[in-house]
Structure 1
Amino acid sequence: MDRPVVRDAALLFLRVVLGVAFIAHGWDRWFLSGIVETTGQFSAWGVPQPRLSAYLTATAELLGGALLALGLLTTLTAGALTLLVVAALYFVHLGNGFFVAQGGVEYPLVVIAALVMIVVFGSGRASIDGVLQRD
């Protein structure tokens, strides 16, 4: 299993799955639930500057997810999204138990672990970053 093609395929799969999940969350915040609803949720959760935080979060999720899926600026994007999810863990999920059904820490911990894998191992060769780095 320690073959470059297997590692690259696994990183591609991980990046695309995470990217699509972030895009879906950002799309929801911008276009389905809307920024006003997101601002209200953030305010209820005690997120500082809820309106600004809603705009920043929705944009970071939408654009960051796309960058992850494409494998462009991958390490930087994964690091920034990790910080975003850590903030969500702190402001929203702590104190709600473990399981995601109760709003607990389960989901954000899995996402943080996956993002850290991308920060550590990079985007792989099946990415725009990988193409640009080839000699």
Structure 2
Amino acid sequence: MMNHQVLRDAVLLLVRLVLGVSFIAHGWEMVFQRGMDGTEGTVELYRTAEVPAPEVLAWFSAITQMLGGALLITGLLATAAAGALAIVTLINFYVLHMPHGFYAVDNGVELPLVLLVCCLIIVVFGAGRASLDRALSRFA
């Protein structure tokens, strides 16, 4: 029978890896794949949502997603990264996805809601033992 702590750490690692890859992919797309120069399409997306300073928000969102995703994968500053990603996801949830209903296929809130809840799992329970946070804490 598997120890509960081992199972908990395995699940936290899996959540971190899936979230990290997902956020890196979304941030990468925002910078390098939308529009002619990569950011044009993302800025236009925020401009269409009528948010203040769409250029700043687009870059903030993209960089937070790429850097935060990498930090989640490694488990370095994972709780802080998950918190920052939760904030960005909440902003995107409200500004970009709420007007489109629930389903992800319609660009609705379904995916951001799942990402937000997973980020909150890391914020509440931490990165687990399979993380750089844990490894570095042994030297402190």
Q: TM-score range by the shorter chain?
A: over 0.9
Aligned counterparts of 2:29 and 2:100: Cα–Cα separation in 1: 23
Which of 98, 113, 116 pairs up with 2:117?
A: 113
Amino acid at match of 1:18: L
TM-score by structure 1 length? 0.94
Amino acid at match of 2:81: T
Find runs of 4+ consecutive structure 1 residues off by over 3 angstroms: none
State the Cα distance separating 1:19 from its structure 2 match.
Answer: 0.3
Amino acid at match of 1:42: Y
Aligned counterparts of 1:38 and 1:76: Cα–Cα separation in 2: 25
State the Cα distance separating 1:80 from its structure 2 match.
Answer: 0.8
Aligned counterparts of 1:41 and 1:107: Cα–Cα separation in 2: 17
Which of 99, 104, 123 pairs up with 2:103?
A: 99
1:3-58 C-alpha deviation (Å, 9 max, x unpaired)? 21111111011001000000001111111221111111110122221111111111
State the Cα distance separating 1:105 from its structure 2 match.
Answer: 1.3
Percent identity of equivalent pairs: 46
Which of 54, 77, 93 pairs up with 1:73?
A: 77
| Count of aligned positions | 135
| 1:90 aligned partner | 94
Aligned counterparts of 2:117 and 2:85: Cα–Cα separation in 1: 12
Aligned counterparts of 2:29 and 2:112: Cα–Cα separation in 1: 17
| 1:62 aligned partner | 66
| 1:20 aligned partner | 21
Q: Note the residue ranges of structure 1 that are not aligned, 5 or more in a row.
A: none
Q: How does 1:44-63 map to 2 (within 5 A)?
A: 44-63=48-67
Amino acid at match of 2:99: G
Amino acid at match of 2:62: A
Amino acid at match of 1:11: L
